[in-house]
Chains A and B, each alone.
Chain A
Amino acid sequence: MVPHTGKAPCTDTVKPVNQPEPVAVNEGPGPVPLTLNRQPVEAIRDRWRIDDEWWRPDPVSRLYFAVALAGGRCLVIYKDLLTSRWYRQPY
């Protein structure tokens, strides 16, 4: 039996989920994604925009795309309209 240290539970032990991962996207005008990690985007199934938390120091402004890649794989990616970077995110 290991004795308890008596330390209080740490808040840093909470783990985020569905965190966005940076991806390399070649974009066309619009903007629309043309390739994702060098794989051509076959179709754009859906697109939507989120503008939220505009009252905070770090507001959120994203343009989401539900895309289908050449192999038939479906993904959700978005462009951060404030930093102009692309991310992949399970939605």
Chain B
Amino acid sequence: MKILCILLPHFALACELQRRPGLEGRPAVVFTPGPGTGRVLDFSPELHSLEPGMPLEQAIALHGEAETISADSPHYREIFEQILDSLQRVSPLVEGAGAGTAYMSTLGLELLYPETDRLAGAVRAAVPAGFEVKLGLAAGKFPAYLAACHSRPGECRSTGSHPGTFLENIPCAELPVSARSRAKLAAFGIKTLGQAAAVPPAAMEAQFGPEGSLICRLAAGIDETPLLPRPPREIITRSLELESATALAGVLLTGFERLLLAIFSLLAPKNMGLSRADIWTRALSGECREKSIFFKSPAMEAGTALKRISQLMETWPQPGPVELLGIRATGLGRPGARQKSLLPEVRSADHLLGEISQLELKLGGPQLFKFKEVEPWSRIPERRHVLTPLSR
């Protein structure tokens, strides 16, 4: 079985170019905001001196003419998920390895695509226009990734039957090992993967510990990391044609409620909820409106989802009487789990004392007392016990 690496270089920038066609041909830097001015996430290919992760200040100092764009990671993630959905139509065994990198198992695909070029064509067709695609085919993820990195856009490069030969001139800086090990390799004068593969594994392990054997295997083009296929995204779509077109919010909400009940009747047996839904309406004039709603934790009941739609409808004017409405459940999820306390009794006692203390502070004095023995041996009854505040 071979693995096909699908690399979408400058993915974040390509996503931004889709949204802002005006950026085409102009140098741009996409940065992730953070402490200080942020870090470079992606940049135009012509800005050779930049590197991902570099401070934005440094990037601006080098290329002051470049336009800076704050990264919209959820948008990039969503676009990438859509691309993975498309790729899963070519092969169900697809793993997303960060935005812009995916791995596909070719298991069984040789019957559908006897030639590599036909498979590469199918993959390229699955990726929307506007994204550059580089493909690499090898027996493992790492050699496939390197093959993709060193292929030309649109090309599918294979490591062949001897991946070691393909990798021998690739610099050791490409190895997915710690920076310390990379620096140590450079200090030993081992600059290419071919040189690293020539070192006996025992000698490598003696110098680099467990990473030594990893370096040896990767340099020889052996990567046994399994492919972890992503579960296919399930999308449920329901629509409702109204008997007579209406602009009344109440009627539209009733329609959405019916659709939600239909969707939740499918989700309930699986103990799944709704984490994202796209709702749309089509007016009598033919104009369509669409909105997406997201749930922080999946909505497990139709009522919860309907409440959100009801809030949305207040600020979502319709162009006219609506004749068709629909919901597309694009994100399904399971209810969130809660970690149980290791010391539940201690925790609950602490929590109770905290609440009692708050009550005392609010009401200005102790409110709850406990019975305490003072002189249980005393012959005088009022000396035997007292009531002390519970929080003391």
- Whether A and B are associated in the same complex: the answer reads yes
Residues of A within 8 A of B (CB): 1-5, 9, 13-20, 50, 52-53, 60, 89-91
A-facing mask of B349-387, CB < 8 A → 1, else 0? 000000001100110011001010000000111101111
Q: How far is the CB of B145 from the nearest CB of chain A, in Å?
A: 51
* Residue picked from A3, A4, A13, A50, most chain B C-beta under 10 Å: A13
Residues in B with CB closer than 8 Å to A50 are 379-380
A14 contacts B365, CB within 8 Å? no
Let me know if A14 and B388 touch, CB within 8 A: yes
Closest 9 CB pairs of A and B: A15-B387, A2-B361, A18-B381, A18-B382, A13-B366, A17-B385, A50-B379, A13-B389, A14-B386
Which has the most chain A C-beta neighbours within 10 Å: B357, B379, B381, B385?
B381
5 examples of A-B residue contacts, CB within 8 angstroms:
A9-B392, A15-B387, A18-B384, A52-B379, A91-B381
Partner of A18, one of B362, B366, B385: B385
Could you say which residues of chain A place their CB within 8 Å of the CB of B358?
A: 1-2
Q: Is the CB of B361 within 8 A of A4?
A: yes
Query: Given the complex, which residues of A lie within 8 Å of B362, measured CB to CB?
Result: 2
Chain B residue with the shortest CB-CB distance to A9 = B392
Q: Are B392 and A20 in contact (CB under 8 A)?
A: no
**Measured CA separation A10–B357 after assembly (Å):** 14
Complex alpha-carbon distance, A19 and B369, angstroms: 16
Given A4-B357, A15-B369 in contact, is the A90-B381 Cβ separation under 8 Å? Answer: yes
The residue in chain B whose Cβ has the minimal distance to the Cβ of A15 is: B387
Instruction: Give the chain A neighbours of B357 by CB distance below 8 A.
Output: 4
- Secondary structure of the A side of the interface? loop
Residues of B within 8 A of A90 (CB): 381
Taking a contact as CB atoms closer than 8 A, the residue among A5, A13, A89 that contacts B382 in the complex is A89
Residues in B whose Cβ lies below 8 Å from that of A2: 358, 361-362
State the Cβ distance, A70 to closest chain B Cβ, in Å: 25
- Name the distance in Å between A9's Cβ and chain B's nearest Cβ: 5
B389 touches A19 (CB 8 A): no
CB distance from B308 to the nearest CB of A (A): 29
Contact B386 A5 (CB under 8 A): no
Smallest beta-carbon distance A19→chain B, Å: 5
Q: Check A15/B380 contact, CB under 8 A, given A2-B361, A4-B357, A4-B361.
A: no
User: Within the complex, what minimum Cβ distance (angstroms) separates A41 from chain B?
Assistant: 20
Find chain A residues with CB under 8 A from B365 CB. Answer: 13
Q: Chain B's nearest CB lies how many Å from the CB of A1?
A: 7
CA–CA, A53 and B382, complex, Å? 14
| Chain A residue with the shortest CB-CB distance to B385 | A17
Residue of B nearest to A7 (CB): B361
Contact of A16 with B379 in the complex, beta carbons under 8 Å: no
Chain B nearest CB from A48 CB (Å) reads 9
A79 to chain B, nearest CB (A): 15
For the complex with contacts A3-B361, A4-B361, A19-B382, 19 further pairs of A-B residues with Cβ separation under 8 Å are A2-B358, A2-B362, A13-B366, A13-B389, A13-B392, A14-B389, A15-B387, A16-B382, A16-B386, A16-B387, A17-B371, A17-B386, A18-B381, A18-B384, A50-B379, A50-B380, A52-B380, A60-B380, A89-B381
Q: Inside 8 A of B385's CB, which chain A residues have their CB? A: 17-18
- Chain B: CB-nearest residue to A91: B381
Report the Cα distance A13→B392, complex, angstroms. Answer: 10
Q: How far is the CA of A1 from the CA of B387 in the complex (A)?
A: 27
Chain B residues with CB under 8 Å of A3's CB are: 361
Q: Which residues of B contact A9 (CB under 8 A)?
A: 389, 392
Distance to closest chain B CB from A8 (angstroms): 11
With a CB–CB cut-off of 8 A, which chain A residues contact B384? 18
Min CB gap B319→A, angstroms: 47
List the A residue with the shortest CB-CB distance to B384.
A18
Shortest distance between the CB of B355 and any CB in chain A (Å): 11
Contacts of B387 in A (CB 8 A): 14-17
Residues of A within 8 A of B366 (CB): 13
Q: Which residue of A lies closest to B363 (CB)?
A: A2
CA distance in complex: A60, B369 (Å) = 28
Give A52 to B384 CA distance when docked, in angstroms. Answer: 14
Query: Shortest CB–CB separation between residue B363 and chain A, in angstroms?
Result: 10
> CA separation between A53 and B362, bound complex, in Å?
41
A4 to B359, CA, bound (A): 11
Say whether, besides A13-B389, A17-B386, A5 and B380 are in contact (CB < 8 Å).
Answer: no
Nearest A residue to B366 via CB reads A13
